[in-house]
Amino acid sequence: MKDIVGFLSKEKIISSTDHSVRLIYAGHSGAYRVMSYLLLNSSYTCNGILLFDALYGQQEKFTMYLQQHSSCKMINIYTDNGGTMQNSRDLMMDMDEWKWKYIQKQEDDITASDLKNNKLIFIHSKVEHNDVVANNNNFQRFLESFK
């Protein structure tokens, strides 16, 4: 992280006096494995989790992290045929049982306000598995919700 902060300071992306780091893990498809590992093993606090049709497993690791880090936001976008819809539905059912507050919306209905003002967000997309990152400029929109 020191190297990253040093590079960002050198490139004038952040000020050299700004040492606060907001870490957001984002991944598509099989990236869930690495992301879940990092959540439980990194010495840095993650502020956000962006799963792009990537909830194939490790739900217990994601939920454990979310439970222990109440300020962490998670956005999970899933598709009909990407293989993550049932896990996403199961996780929402678990969250209902735990009385965790989340929103679930269709991709075309999600607003900037929804993204900004909610901590746990499930988005159903009608596009194909490989299109969820770029469709509707999702990656940028999701990142902007952390400002």
pLDDT along the chain (147 residues), means of 10: 74 66 88 93 88 96 95 97 96 97 97 97 96 94 91
Distance CA 117, CA 112 (A): 8
78, 85 Cβ separation under 8 angstroms: yes
In this prediction, residue 3 carries a pLDDT of: 75
In this prediction, residue 71 carries a pLDDT of: 92
Picking from 135, 141, 139, the residue whose alpha carbon sits closest to that of residue 51 is 139
In this prediction, residue 9 carries a pLDDT of: 77
Looking up tokens 């984002």, which residue turns up? 26
